[in-house]
Amino acid sequence: MSVVNPGAAVAARALSVRQPAPRRALPFSWVTLAALLVSLFALLPLGFVLWVGYQTGWATASAMIFRPRVGELLVNTAWLVLLVVPLCTVLAIALAWLTERSDLPGARWWSWLAVAPLAVPAFVHSYAWISLTPGLHGLFAGVLVSVLAYFPFLYLPISAALRRLDPAIEDTAASLGLSPWHVFRRVVLPQLRLPVWGGALLVGLHLLAEYGLYVMIRFDTFTTAIVDQFQSSYNGPAANMLAGVLVVCCFALLGIEAGTRGQERYARVGTGAARDMPRRRLGRWTWLCLALPALTALLSLGVPLITLGRWLVYGGVDVWTTRYIGPAVWQTIVWSLVGAVLTTVVALPMAWLSIRAPSRLQRLMEACNYLVGSLPGVVIALALVTVTVRVALPLYQTVVTVLLAYVLMFLPRALVSLRAGIAQAPVELEHAARSLGHSPLRAVWGVTLRLAAPSAAAGVAMVGLGIANELTATLLLAPNGTQTLATAFWGLTSEIDYAGAAPYALIMVLLSLPMTWLLYTQSKKTAGR
C-alpha cells in the first residue's frame, strides 16, 4: 500500500501550473503567420529602394547619384550631423549633471523644462525663429534650431542613467585621490556611453528625416530635395535615387553606432549601495550655472511661445477661423486615434512572440520591424506612392495609403511598449487560465492583454503623438483637400501667413504636452524616483 505525501501532491499541482509550455508549442499558429506578414510588409520600403535601383539600371542610376547636386546634399547633411550631434551631447550632459548631481535651485523644474521642447514640433521651432529673425538661413540656422529641437532626445536617457549609477564606484575613485573633475571624466562619462550613443543615433536619424524645419530656413538636405523633386516634376527615378542615398546614410549611422558603442557592461552584481549620490555644492558658481538651463529654456521654449503669442495677438480673433480649424483638429484626432490603434494591433503578434516564443526566426522578423523605424518618412511615402500607382491604383491618395504609411513609420513605438507590457504579465497566469478550461485565445485576451493594457495605452499615445505632428508622408499621400493641423499649418506658412498659422501651431503644442509629460514621468520611474 503506497502512502501519498499531501505536501508533495500540492507541490506537484503547483508545478503543473507554473511549468511553462515548451517554446515550440505556440498557442496559435496564426500568430507566427501574422507576425511574418507584418515583417514582410515592413521590408516594403527597403525592397522598393532596391527594386527601383535595379529597374533604373546602373548607367542611369550612377549618372543620377554621382553628380554635383548629390555631393552638395551629402556635404550639407554631413556638416549638419557632425555639428548638431556633438553640440546636443555636450548640452544634454551639462544639463543632466546640473539637474541630477548638483544643488541647482529648482532642479526639478529645470529638468522638466529640458524635456518640454519635445512638445514643440521641429518645424514649429523653425517657424518661430524665422518669423522672429527673417534673415536666419543656412547651416548656422539649421544647427541652432536643430540643437534646440532635438537635445531632449539625449537629455532624457543621460539624466535617467545618472540617477541609476552606483555611487560606490565614484566614492572608490575619490578615495584613490582623484579630483571631482577626474572622477567625472574617468568614471561617470564611460558609464554614460550607451545612453549617449543611443540618443545620438536617434538625433542623427531625425536630422536625416526632417523636412519642414530645413525648408523654412532654406537649408537643402536629402529629404528636402526628394520632396521638391517629387512635387515639382514627379520625377520618380531622380527622387528614388536620392531616397536610396538617404537610406544608405541611415544605415551608415546605424553601423557607426553599433560599431562604436562597445561591448562593455556597467551593471553591478549584487544589491549595491541603495542610496542617492550626494549633490555637489555649486557655491559661488550657482548663478553662473543657472544661466545655462535658463538660456536653454528661453531659446527652446520661450522663443516659440513668445512668437506664437505675438502672432496670435497680431492676428486677433480673425485667425481663429473655426470653419477651417475645427475640421483640421477633428481630422488630426481621428487619424491619430485610428492610426495609433491600427499600429498597436498590427504590432501585437510580433510583441507576443518576442516574449512568449523567442527564436532565431522571431528575432529576424523583429529586426525587420525595427529596420523600418530608421527610414525617413519620405522614403516610406515614395515606396507607397510607387506601389499604389503601379499595382493598386485605386488606393493612390486614399486614407488607406496614409494609414499604411503611419503603420510603417511608427510600428517600433508600438512594439516597444507592447513588449514591456507583455513581459510584465506572468506566463503562469495564462497556463492557469487554460488549466481552468479557457481556450488559448480567451486566456490571452482575459489575462495577458488586460495586464498589458497600460503599456498598450502608452504605445497608442506615443504613436498618436507622432501621427498628430507628422508632415512629410501626409503631404505626399493624403487625398486632395485633406487638412490636418500639420498640413494646414504648413500651407499657411508657405504663403507667409504666419498669423494664420499660429493657432494650428499652438494646438499641436497643446496636444503634445500630455505625452511629453508622460515621457518625463516614465523616465523618473525607470530610474527609481
- Arithmetic mean of pLDDT over the chain: 80
pLDDT for 22: 40
Whole-number Cα distances in Å, 288 to 104, 151, 511: 10, 21, 34
pLDDT band of residue 342 (cuts 50, 70, 90) is very high
Q: Determine the length of the chain.
A: 529
pLDDT band of residue 79 (cuts 50, 70, 90) is very high
pLDDT for 434: 67
- The number of angstroms, rounded, from the C-alpha of 497 to the middle of its chain's C-alpha atoms is 30
pLDDT for 254: 76
- Residue ranges and CATH numbers for the domains of the chain are 46-266 (1.10.3720.10), 320-529 (1.10.3720.10)
> Is the pLDDT score of 90 beyond 60?
yes
Phi-psi label, residue 115: left if phi above 0, alpha if psi -120 to 50, beta otherwise: alpha
Closest C-alpha to 158, from 224, 92, 210, 111: 92
CA distance 215 to 234: 19
> Is the pLDDT score of 157 beyond 80?
yes
Kindly state the greatest CA–CA separation across the chain.
98
With a pLDDT cut of 90, the percent of the chain lying above it is 21
pLDDT band of residue 504 (cuts 50, 70, 90) is very high
Phi-psi label, residue 106: left if phi above 0, alpha if psi -120 to 50, beta otherwise: left
**Helix H segments across 298-423?**
303-315, 322-356, 360-373, 377-390, 399-423
One-character DSSP codes across 448-506 = IHHHTHHHHHHHHHHHHHHHHT--HHHHHHSPTT---HHHHHHHHHHTT-HHHHHHHHH
pLDDT for 109: 92
Kind plus residue range of the DSSP H or E element containing 162:
helix 152-164
3-state DSSP percent of the chain in helix, strand and coil, to 5: 80, 0, 20
Kind plus residue range of the DSSP H or E element containing 161:
helix 152-164
pLDDT for 339: 93
Mean pLDDT for 446-455 is: 70
